Amino acid sequence: MLKSKLAAGLTPYVPGEQPKGEKVIKLNTNENPYPPSPKAIAALREFDAGRLRLYPDPTADVLRAAIAGAEGVKTENVFVGNGSDEVLSLAFAAFFDADSDPVLFPDITYSFYKVFCSLYNINYAEVPLRPDFTVDIADYMERKTSGIVIANPNAPTAIALDNGDICRLVETHTNRVIIADEAYADFSSQPSLAAMTAKYNNLLVVKTFSKSRSFAGGRLGYAIGNEELITTLRSVKDCFNSYTVNSLTAAVGRAAIEDREYFEECTARIIATREWTADRLSQLGFTVTKSDANFIFAKPPTLGGKEFQARLRARGILVRRFDHPRISDYLRITIGSEEDMREFVKVCAEILG
């Protein structure tokens, strides 16, 4: 046998389709429809390519300071990595044990959490969402656990949990790390919990540049937490790779997060387009959850989710669907440009006849 027992037993995460050369309206991977900040583009053009012969700063101090400034925390409270997926993976390895009580997360949430648990042989338990796909924190309060992971807003449901509820979990499980995965928080009515990490030493907030900063191809994510948590993350990271964020990404990422005006302009446009799209889909008879993300979670009024997705695909529109029994008829629809979403709604109306 040419692979380990670990590798043989893994079921990897499957990302959304990435078409090659085909012209489509791509609403399946929650990417930002708008280009990166003009300041980020300028930083890319001005980058000294000669620096690529040198290793990057292993602690990415300049980038971390820029993130800290944007989030209102100290540099020592920031950890950076190759996208939030890497940050989350390192956090699972850093804070959850293989031979302990289960890590808790919803039964319908980001499917990478189960992959990380399989990779590190971590015991986990999926806690069912309510019938309306909301989180009931009472289900997490009394259970024995080695930690809790809450995507807020949740994926793929797009629903946000009140920050006060997450803080109650943090206050109840004081000797366990609670991870708030805020990949979509910049589009939410709930403010980020980043500032609350100064109050709670067991709260870790994980964020990404992929969505609201239009930097999915740059692979940059970060965590905010108590200095002890950040030091632990760095120790685990250094056992994998001492240099995770490359010099080019660090330079462009710094420029992106410092351009607050452009960030607010783009997120506001996406939120406005989201609300317009959700309203139009509701008028067409779709069941639509209350979205606090840069995507919509909706069930067509007729046809199953698989059939509706196929008909959209035949018309050159990509959306995402998951085979979980509770949500197999729902579609996760990324918010594209205003033009994209007008075409999407038009095609949906034509499919419905």
Taking only the tens place, the pLDDT of each residue in 260-300 is 999 999 999 999 999 999 999 999 999 999 999 999 999 99
CA-based angle 12:15:17, to the nearest 5? 135
Give, in order, the Cα–Cα distances in Å from 147 to each of 94, 125, 204. 11, 11, 11
Residues 214 and 309 in one domain: no
Q: How many CB atoms lie within 10 A of CB 164?
A: 9
pLDDT at 1: 65
Residues 23 and 99 in one domain: no
Residues 267 and 323 in one domain: yes
> Global pTM?
0.96
Residues 242 and 226 in one domain: yes
Question: Residue 211 is part of a domain; what is its CATH number?
Answer: 3.40.640.10
CA distance 185 to 253: 18
Residues 180 and 309 in one domain: no
Residues 219 and 270 in one domain: no
Question: Residue 31 is part of a domain; what is its CATH number?
Answer: 3.90.1150.10
Beta partners for 150? 180
CA distance 294 to 212: 8
Residues 232 and 335 in one domain: no
Residues 235 and 283 in one domain: no
Q: What is the pLDDT confidence band of residue 314, given thresholds at 50, 70 and 90?
A: very high
Domain boundary among the residues 231, 258, 285 is at 258
Range of the domain at 249: 41-258
CA distance 344 to 341: 5
Q: How many CB atoms lie within 10 A of CB 59?
A: 14
> E strands along the chain, which residues?
25-26, 78-81, 103-106, 124-127, 147-151, 177-181, 203-208, 221-225, 287-288, 295-299, 317-318, 331-334
Any domain includes 5:
no
Q: Tell me the one-letter amino acid at 164.
A: G
State the average pLDDT over residues 168-181: 97
Residues 328 and 207 in one domain: no
For 245-290, the DSSP string reads S-HHHHHHHHHHHH-HHHHHHHHHHHHHHHHHHHHHHHHTT-EE--
Whether the predicted pLDDT of 244 surpasses 90 = no
- With beta carbons less than 8 A apart as the criterion, state whether 41 and 150 touch: no
CA distance 56 to 196: 31
Any domain includes 4:
no
